[in-house]
Structure 1
Amino acid sequence: MSTTTYAGQPVTVNDEGFFEDPAQWTEDMAPEIAKSLGIDQLTERHWQVIEFMRAEYAAKGTGPTVRALGKSSGVSVKELYQLFPKGPAKIAAKIAGIPKPHGCI
C-alpha cells in the first residue's frame, strides 16, 4: 500500500493504484485520475459508467465486469471500449475509486 494525492487529498492505494478505501474518493478526483490513465476529458457517458460502478460496488461489494456493465449500465460494450480503452471495467473502477472488479486481470 502507498499514498497518492488526488485533488489535493491524500488517498491510500494498493500496488496497482486502486483505492483501498472507496470512501476517500470524491468527484473532484475523477478527472485527475482519468488524465493519469490517458482520458483527457470525462463526458456525460463516462460519468454514467462511473456512477454505475460506484452504485454496484455499494450494493454488491465489488464492481461489475465488462459484460455486466454492457448489460446493465446503459452503455454498450463497444462504447465502453471507446470510453475506457485498455480494459473498461478496470479503468472505470480506478476512476470511480473502487477496488478492481473480480475477474479483471
Structure 2
Amino acid sequence: MLKIILFFILLNKKFMKFDYSGHLKNFYDWDKKIAHEIAKKENILLNEDHWKIIYFIREFYSVYKILPKTRIIVKSISFKLNTTVKNSVYLFMLYPKGIITQASKIAGIPKSIHCF
C-alpha cells in the first residue's frame, strides 16, 4: 500500500500543498515568494544566476512536462541566456545538494515519480 503524505502551508494568504520532501504539488501555485521560502529552507540565498536556472527549468517543464537533464541546463543557459554558467561544477556551487533536486524544488516542479 502506497502512503502519500501531504503538507499544507499557508503562504500568500492561501494554503499550498507540498509533498513529504517539500516539493510543491501544483506547478501553477508557484510564485517568487514561494521560491524564496523554499530556498530559505534549503539554505540558499537566490541571486540572478539562480533565477535564470529556475525560470529555465519552469519553462522547460511547462512545455515538456519533464525535468531537463543537467547537460541540457548547462548548454541552454550558457547559450541562450549568456551567463557565467559553463559547466555543471558551477551549477553545484549554486545548488549544493544537486541542480535537479534543489533547483526543481525551488522552481515549484512537482517531484517526479521516477528516479532522478
Question: 2: distance between equivalents of 1:65 and 1:103?
Answer: 12
Runs of 4+ in 1 over 4 A off after TM superposition: none
Question: 2: distance between equivalents of 1:100 and 1:14?
Answer: 8
Q: Percent identity?
A: 34
Pairwise CA RMSD = 1.7
Matched, 1:92 2:96: no
Higher Cα radius of gyration: 2
Give the TM-score, by structure 1 length. 0.86
Structure 1's unaligned 5+ residue stretches are: none
Q: Over residues 50-80 of structure 1, what are the superposed CA-to-partner deviations in whole Å (9 max), with x where a residue is unaligned?
A: 0001001101001212222222222331111
> Structure 1 71/100 Cα, relative in aligned 2: closer, same or farther at 3 Å?
farther
Equivalent in the alignment of 2:30: 25
Tell whether the 8 Å contact from 1:69 to 1:89 is kept in structure 2 after alignment. Answer: no
